[in-house]
Amino acid sequence: MASFPKKIRITNESQLQTLFDSGKSISSGGITLKYIHSQTEFKVGFSAPKRLHTTAVTRNLLKRRMRESFRLQKHILGDSFSGIGYFIYNKKVVKSSSEINQAFTTLLTKWKDSET
């Protein structure tokens, strides 16, 4: 069974605050990635704002699709990649898994290229 292990989740509030205070952002396909480069760790998080998606069912669906897209495409970043990223779904329209996959391909490629 595929999982999203705790060791790669953003679990610390201070990491999230640093991310929003001094992080950079990339957008593609209605998904925004806020990120910072870290020397030691690799962490990610996902959200779908309540102001755009009022029902928890819809927010959870979008987060599940984003997590799955990330899981399938994290190989783009490589094993030695380190950084902290937070994916935010910014569209009112609920997109299909394939559309989210395309956006993640673009986002992850740009994130990796921004490191160099």
Q: What is the pLDDT of residues 38-67, one digit of tens each?
A: 878 899 999 999 999 999 999 999 999 999
Amino acid identity, residue 36? I
Arithmetic mean of pLDDT over the chain: 91
Q: Please report, for the domain that includes residue 77, its CATH number.
A: 3.30.230.10
pLDDT at residue 32 tops 80: yes
Question: Is 2 within a domain?
Answer: no
116 located within any domain: no
Instruction: Give the model's pLDDT for residue 41.
Output: 87
Give the per-residue pLDDT at 2.
63
Q: What is the pTM of this model?
A: 0.92
Work out how many domains the chain is built from and give that number. Answer: 1
Instruction: State which residues form the domain around 22.
Output: 9-111
Q: Which amino acid is at 69?
A: S
Instruction: Classify residue 36: in a domain, yes or no.
Output: yes
Task: Establish if 4 belongs to a structural domain.
Answer: no
Question: What is the model's pLDDT at position 103?
Answer: 94
How many beta carbons lie within 10 A of that of residue 14, not counting itself? 7
On whether the CB atoms of residues 112 and 70 are closer than 8 A, the answer is no
Both tokens assigned to 112: 């990796």
